[in-house]
Amino acid sequence: MEHEKKEITVKVQVNLSPHIVWEYWTDPEHIVNWNCASDDWHTPTAVNDLQQGGWFRWRMEAKDRSAGFDFEGRYDEIVPNEKIIYTMADGRRVKILFTNVDNNTLITETFDTETLNPADMQRAGWQAILDRFKYYVELNEK
């Protein structure tokens, strides 16, 4: 069943400053530790050419190797510590804002949905990854 394409926004507040959050978000050494929606998945490799026109590819796989895919795209706009806009390989767009709120960081991620899975399922997956990011960063910066 095909689902209607729409835009979804997910958010999380990380209790650290934007420059620290930015480093964890963009460094492949960190990406492989937080980029998954559940404990039965992982990101074994991440390549990130963080510049306008640069390409990223994060390999996402089930730990039992039953499924996997490359999450990849090209950066359209980068404003360090503030904003990332990219287009995924399938043409969908993503905008991520890193907003300083009293030296904490509100991450607001808006993405175009795909049409194969229900929007609520996609929202839950992207939110789970954001929540996992928050947990990872705050745990490692203590």
Kindly state the average pLDDT of the residues 39-58. Answer: 96
Planar angle of CA 108, 88, 126, nearest 5 degrees: 40
| Domain spans of the chain, in order of start | 7-35+75-141
CB 3 within 8 A of CB 113: yes
Give this prediction's pTM: 0.93
Q: Return the pLDDT at 95.
A: 98
Q: Return the pLDDT at 1.
A: 60
Report the DSSP beta bridge partners of residue 106.
13, 99
Q: Give the SS3 label for residue 44.
A: strand
Half-sphere exposure of 91 (CA within 13 A, CB side): 3
**For residue 2, pLDDT beyond 70:** no
Beta strands in the chain (DSSP E): 7-14, 41-48, 55-62, 68-79, 83-88, 93-101, 104-112
Q: What is the pLDDT of residues 107-136, one digit of tens each?
A: 999 999 998 889 999 999 999 999 999 999
Output phi, psi for 125, to 5 deg: -65, -45
Q: Return the pLDDT at 5.
A: 76
Give the residue among 142, 135, 126 at the shortest CA–CA distance from 60. 126
| pLDDT > 90 in the chain, percent | 92
CATH code of domain 7-35+75-141: 3.30.530.20
Q: What is the pLDDT of residues 57-95, one digit of tens each?
A: 999 999 999 999 999 999 999 999 999 999 999 999 999
Q: Return the pLDDT at 38.
A: 92
Give the residue among 56, 61, 53 at the shortest CA–CA distance from 27. 56
Q: Return the pLDDT at 4.
A: 73
